[in-house]
Amino acid sequence: MAAARQGGSSITRALRVVEAVAVAGDGVTAKAIARRLGCPLPTVYRALGTLVEEGYLVRLHDAHGYGLGYRVAELHRSLTEQVRPEPALRTTLREVHTAAAAAAYLAVFRDVDVVVAHVDDCADHPRPDALRVGEPTPAHATAAGKVMLAGLRPARLSELLERTGLRVGEDFFLCFSPERIDPGNPKYHTTNIPKVVGGITPACTRMGSLFYSQALEKVVPVSSTSVAEMVKLLENTFRMINIGLVNELAMMCDRMGINVWEVIDAAATKPFGYMPFYPGPGLGGHCIPIDPFYLSWKTRQAGIEARFIELAGYINGQMPHFVVDKVQAALNEASKPLRGSHVHVLGVAYKRDIDDVRESPALDIILLLEQKGAHITYSDPYVAKLGLDHHALTSTDSLSMAGKADCVVVVTDHSDFDYPGILQRAKLIVDARNAFKNHKSDKIVRL
């Protein structure tokens, strides 16, 4: 905490991020905050991570699932008293603090996107015989008050609770269990996805396993909270790096005139030593684009450079630009400039058949197209309205717009789209998801 109060450089950078969130107000994305500060998006998350390291809980989350309209809730007065933020941030914090005092914490957590809370708050009212499980989700608690799910470091919380005289593994049981969800997956859901849990002590692990086994089909105990946390980071980093590999392969194949989708499908016939990953317009969601950079930041503190993560992050970050270049080249082949052309985007959610646009590559693609002078419309059966940096768009009918647009871009391949009907009406299609895999037409430009 001394570094925070002395205004150390890392804390100063982190607070600049928080101030940017407050000043920007509603209708902005984390990427817009990065642009406001003139720094890469990973830097924003690393700066927020600095606050976590210094004893503050920082969570980026949109309760409505859109990743837009970031706001700040500050639940500990010492931040404003010791750091003395800018007036705009002070006003925001004062308003939210007043609201927090008048309402239950749960209501506050559900209605904010960024929470900055001093972890001492979690130890203000310790209870013996309590099980506390940290999950990488917004903080919430059961009505009975016996279980609290809070996104902060287990070791730090254990230290704070033990200052009250309670003993970990005897008076309270502290665990960490990483979130495992696959939105939109009809086969795997919370009940049948194995649940990893690790405790501060073996007794904590046993208690956490017993708790989860009451509702879940399989619990996987591990030896510590650190192992449990690294499991989550490995899972997301594994996927992020392999997606980066196939995205780079897609750019290679594009230059060489090879169908990357055919290459991957043929490679997937190998019954051992290979797992198919597929290219796309970029990463999205609240885990895969973000979590690996936490690991990279943490390993850098240990003197290790996470080169795979940084390289994959760079390649994945280039994919929206690659898609826009494909659109521009396709329009040029049709003797049309991108400036002034009507480009219709199919799908803005980050993933098929869900309504979540957090970190969706569609946001970058739309922004880049608008910067180049294109007129943008979109269709998404799950996202009726889309808030951008300075304006908002409303979803339109995909079939009617396909016939009006100069180019249709498939960013998210929702199952609800009538692809044969779109193909029939569209003049030109840039397919970033292989949605038209079973269709052959000179209109289609594949990734």
Element holding 241 (H helix, E strand): helix 225-256
Q: How far is CA 97 from CA 14, 30, 73, 221, 330, in A?
A: 20, 23, 7, 38, 52
CA–CA gap between residue 205 and residue 175 (Å, rounded)? 6
- For 207, list phi and psi in degrees, rounded to 5: -65, -45
From the candidates 122, 175, 287, 407, give the one annotated as an active-site residue: 287
Whether 175 sits among the annotated catalytic residues: the reply is no
Q: How far is CA 278 from CA 236, 246, 263, 322, 435, in A?
A: 15, 6, 11, 15, 12
Give the distance, in angstroms, between the CA of residue 178 and the centroid of all CA atoms in the same chain.
15
Q: Are strands 385-387 and 392-394 parallel, antiparallel or unpaired?
A: antiparallel
- For 338, list phi and psi in degrees, rounded to 5: -65, -40
CA–CA gap between residue 67 and residue 383 (Å, rounded)? 12
Residue holding tokens 């990065």? 34
Angle (deg, nearest 10), helices 41-53 and 9-24: 120
DSSP character at residue 168: B
Angle (deg, nearest 10), helices 307-333 and 291-301: 140
DSSP character at residue 28: -
CA–CA gap between residue 231 and residue 188 (Å, rounded)? 18
Residues 6+ apart with CB under 8 A from 81: none
CA-CA-CA-CA torsion sign (94, 99, 101, 104): negative
Six-digit token pair at 182?
């696959």
End-to-end CA gap in the chain: 49
Which positions are annotated as active-site residues? Answer: 287
